[in-house]
Chain A
Amino acid sequence: MNIHAVKAIYKFEMLRAWKTLFQSLASPVISTALYFVVFGSAIGSRIENIEGVSYGLFIVPGLTMLSVLTQSVANASFGIFFPKFTGSIYEVLSAPISSFEILIGYVGAAATKSLLIGLIILLTASFFVDLRIAHPVWMIAFLVLTCLSFSLFGFIIGLWAGNFEKLQVIPLLVITPLVFLGGSFYSVSMLPPFWQTVTLFNPVLYLVSGFRWSFFEVSDVSVGISLTMIVVFLVTCLGIVSWMFRTGYRLKQ
C-alpha cells in the first residue's frame, strides 16, 4: 500500500478544512443553537414528551444526523469534484496509487471532518439539554458508519457531477428532503399510517432511528434493521465507486 499517498491526500483535504476552520466550526454550532432555540424552546415547550423523552432532547440525534449527512456529502463531493474541475486530478490519476487508496484518502478525510462536526454538535447540544447517551459505543459506531457511507455517497456525486449545478442538485433536492422526512424531528409513529409506510422507503429513517436508540433506547424501527440498512447502503456505495473506478467513469477516457 502507498501509505505516503494516502496520507498526502488525507492531510491535503484536512488542511482545506483547517483553512476554513471558523466556518467549519461556527456554522454547525450556530445552526444547532438556532434549532434548539426554535424547535427546542419555542415550539418544543408546547409539544408533549415523545416516548418519555422531552422534545428538546428527542431532536438531538436527528439534528446531529442532519448536519453529519449534509456535511459528509458536501465535503466528499467537493473534495473530488474540485480537482476534476481545475484539471489537477491528472496528478492523482498518474500517481502510483490504487483506486482503494484514493478512496481512503478522500473519503477518510471527509468522514473525519463530518465526525468531528457531529461531535461538536453533540457538545453544543449538551449546553441546551441534559444529554444522556445510553449506549456510547453504539452511538459512535452509528455515527462513524453514517459518516463513512454518506462520504462515499458524496464521493460518487463528486465523480458524477460535471458542473457546480449538478454538485448541488443531489444534496438540495434529495438529501435535505430525505433528512427532514426521515424522522429527524419527530417519531414516525406520529404520522398517518400511509405516510408511515412511505417513510419506510427512506434510508435516512434507519440512520436516525438507530442513532436515536443509542441515546434513549427508543426507535422507530429495530436496531438490527437500522444497522443492516446502513451496511447495505455502505456496500452499495462501495460497489458503485468500484464500478466507477474500474470503468474510469468521468475520470479516464
Chain B
Amino acid sequence: MQSIVSIKNLSKTYESGHQALHSVNLDIQSGEILALLGPNGAGKTTLISIICGIVSPTNGTVKVDGFDIISDYRKSRELIGLVPQELTLGAFDTVWNTINFSRGLFGKPKDHAYLEQLLKDLSLWDKKSNELRTLSGGMKRRVLIAKALSHEPRILFLDEPTAGVDVELRKDMWAIVEKLRQSGVTIILTTHYIEEAEEIADRVGVISDGKLLLVEDKHDLMQKLGKKQLIIELKEPVSELPESLASYDLELSKEGNLLTYTYDTKGEGTGITALLQAINDADSLALKDLQTTQSSLEEIFVNLVHSEDDV
C-alpha cells in the first residue's frame, strides 16, 4: 500500500520546555484505519495537531500525499479533515451555516446536495436549522464530524472521537468510520479505549511519553505479543502437582481443580500435546474440561507502556 502520510524524525518541545514528541517516525498507509493508543499526555494530540497545522513542529518533516505540511501547506491541508477532542463549536450558528463555513474555508464551492447527504448520513438533517448551543453533546460530536467531512477530505483525523459519549453513540461512530473507510478515506484515530482500537483499527500504534513504541498490524500485534493460556479443569482437586509436570509453566488454583498453562504463540511448538500426554500419564490427574484464552489488546498495551516505564 502507498503511504499517504509520512512522518520523519518529528519532535516537539513546547515553550514550557516539555518535550511532547521524541523523534517520531511513522508511515500511514492510504485507506487504512490506524489507531494511536496511549495514556493521557502521551503526545497523541500533539502529533495530530502538527500534521493538521495547528501546532508548529520543533524538528522533523511531515508529508501528506507527498506535500510538505509547511512549504506546501495548502495542498496538504486540503486533503485533511480533523475532528478535535473537545466540543469546540460556536454557539449561535446553525448546523447548516457552520458546515457551509467549513466547506468554504477549505476552498470548496457550495454543494448543497453533498452537504444534505452528509447531514442525513450523520442523522443531523432534521437539526440543520438548530443553533449549535441547543444541541446535545452527542449531536455536537456529529456536527464536528460533519464539519471535518464537509470538504470531502481523503484523510480524517479523529482525536478521541468517543471520549465521554454513550455506548450507543460509540457504536454509531464506529459504523460511520467503517463506512468512510469503505469510501476510501484514510482514518487516524487516537484513543485510550483499547476496545475501540481492537474493534475498528487495521493497525495500532502505541505512543507513550512522546515516543512511538510500535506500529503493528492489529492481528499481528496480538499474535506477536499476545500470550495464550490453556486452562485445564480437573475432575478431582489436587493439593500438589506430580513431579512429571514440574518442567511445565503451570499454575494450580487455590481450589486445586484448575491448572493454568501459559504459552507463547510466537514459539514453533506450544507444548500442549506433550503437556496433555503428561497429564494423561499421571495417575493422580483426570481431565474434566479445557479452554483457551488470549490476552486482549489492553493487556498488551499495559505491558508495553509499563515495560517502557521500567526502562
Q: Which residues of A contact B (CB under 8 A)?
A: 2, 4-5, 7-9, 11-12, 15-16, 19, 82-83, 86-88, 90-98, 248, 252-253
Contacts and interface: CB of A to CB of B under 8 A. Distances in A.
Q: Which of B54, B76, B78 has the most CB of A within 10 A?
A: B54
Contacts of B55: 252-253
B15 A253 contact: yes
Interface string B55-91: 1100000000000000001111110101010101111
B211 interface: no
B56 A4 contact: no
A8 B90 contact: no
A98 B56 CA distance: 15
Contact of B109 (A4, A94, A95): A4
Given A94-B53, A253-B56, A5 B106 contact: yes
Contact of A95 (B88, B89, B105): B105
Contact of B86 (A8, A11, A87, A92): A87
Most central of A2, A7, A83 by chain B CB within 10 Å: A2
26 contacts: A2-B107, A4-B107, A4-B108, A5-B104, A12-B93, A16-B92, A86-B88, A86-B90, A87-B88, A88-B88, A88-B89, A90-B52, A90-B54, A90-B82, A90-B84, A91-B105, A91-B147, A92-B105, A93-B54, A94-B82, A95-B107, A96-B73, A96-B107, A248-B56, A252-B56, A253-B14
B101 interface: yes
Contacts of A90: 52, 54, 82, 84, 88
B102 interface: yes
A7 to B, nearest CB: 6
B253 interface: no
A12 B97 contact: yes
B84 A95 contact: no
Contacts of A12: 93, 97, 101
A86 B89 contact: yes
Interface of B: 14-15, 52-56, 73-78, 80, 82, 84, 86, 88-93, 97, 100-109, 147
Contact of A252 (B54, B77, B102, B106): B54
Given A4-B104, A87-B88, A253-B14, A93 B53 contact: yes
A8 B101 contact: yes
Contacts of B54: 90, 93-94, 252
Given A90-B88, A248-B56, A252-B56, A97 B97 contact: no
Given A5-B105, A90-B82, 8 more contacts: A4-B103, A7-B104, A12-B93, A19-B92, A86-B91, A87-B88, A94-B53, A97-B74
A5 B103 CA distance: 8
A82 B93 CA distance: 12
Contact of B74 (A2, A91, A92, A248): A2
Contacts of A5: 104-107
A95 B91 contact: no
B107 to A, nearest CB: 5
Contacts of A16: 92
B278 to A, nearest CB: 61
Contacts of A94: 52-54, 77, 80, 82
B82 A96 contact: no
A93 B93 CA distance: 19
B15 A95 contact: no
- Top 9 A-B pairs, shortest CB-CB distance: A8-B104, A87-B88, A96-B74, A96-B77, A94-B52, A95-B105, A2-B107, A4-B104, A96-B78
Which of A19, A83, A86, A92 has the largest count of B CB atoms less than 10 A from its CB? A86
B105 A97 contact: yes
Contacts of A11: 101, 104
Contacts of A88: 88-90
Most buried by A among B86, B106, B108: B106
B105 A82 contact: no
A8 B99 CA distance: 11
In this complex, which of B88, B100, B107, B108 has the most chain A Cβ atoms within 10 angstroms of its Cβ? B107
Nearest to A9: B105
Contacts of B109: 4
Nearest to B20: A253
A90 B101 CA distance: 13
Contacts of A248: 56
Nearest to A95: B105
A123 to B, nearest CB: 28
Contacts of B102: 91
B256 to A, nearest CB: 59
Nearest to B106: A95
A16 B76 CA distance: 30
Nearest to A105: B105
A30 to B, nearest CB: 23
A5 B15 CA distance: 31
A145 B136 CA distance: 44
A96 to B, nearest CB: 4
Contact of B97 (A2, A15, A91): A15
A83 B132 CA distance: 14
